[in-house]
Structure 1
């Protein structure tokens, strides 16, 4: 409750505390959002080659404009030979 008493005494701190709170919440959200992406490896022992499971139709970036993807023929041939 001391922070609320301080804010009532010094009202110029209200915008500062508000902006810092929003920045902290945004940073926390972005960190949690980044953990849900497929390019982040949480357990390297379980999946040593995570790039094999990346969905090419799903955007890997935060913001993508006109993403077009075509499979590379050489890679498809190598995948077929190794399976």
Structure 2
């Protein structure tokens, strides 16, 4: 039995099919959108430490409201090779 014949006979299934199709298309398109972002890792062999190349001034979220980036002082000391002293 064809899907269109089934929908013609049982018209109450039409909204369900439309909602499920819309959800599947939306989920697929968001997955493709997320894979195109630079902070998504697909192949770790070519770039084993991708977090080192992330620009902190570029927002990474779908919606960013009032995000400000400030460097963490302890992390900067560790990167430079200094020993971090705890109080």
TM-score greater than 0.5 by the shorter chain: yes
Q: Find the counterpart in structure 2 of residue 47 from structure 1.
A: 47
Aligned residues: 79
Q: Find the counterpart in structure 1 of residue 79 from structure 2.
A: 78
Distance 2:5 2:63 in 1: 42
Aligned to 1:51, the other structure's residue is in SS state helix
Larger Rg: 2
Aligned to 1:12, the other structure's residue is in SS state helix
Deviates more, 1:52-61 or 1:14-23: 52-61
- 1:59 maps onto 2:59 in alignment: yes
> How far did 1:8 drift?
1.0
Query: TM-score normalized by structure 1?
Result: 0.80
Q: Find the counterpart in structure 2 of residue 24 from structure 1.
A: 24
> How far did 1:38 drift?
2.3
Query: Which structure 1 residue ranges, 5 or more long, are not aligned?
Result: none
**Structure 1 vs Structure 2 CA RMSD:** 2.2
Query: Which structure 2 residue ranges, 5 or more long, are not aligned?
Result: 81-87
> How far did 1:48 drift?
0.7
> How far did 1:7 drift?
0.9
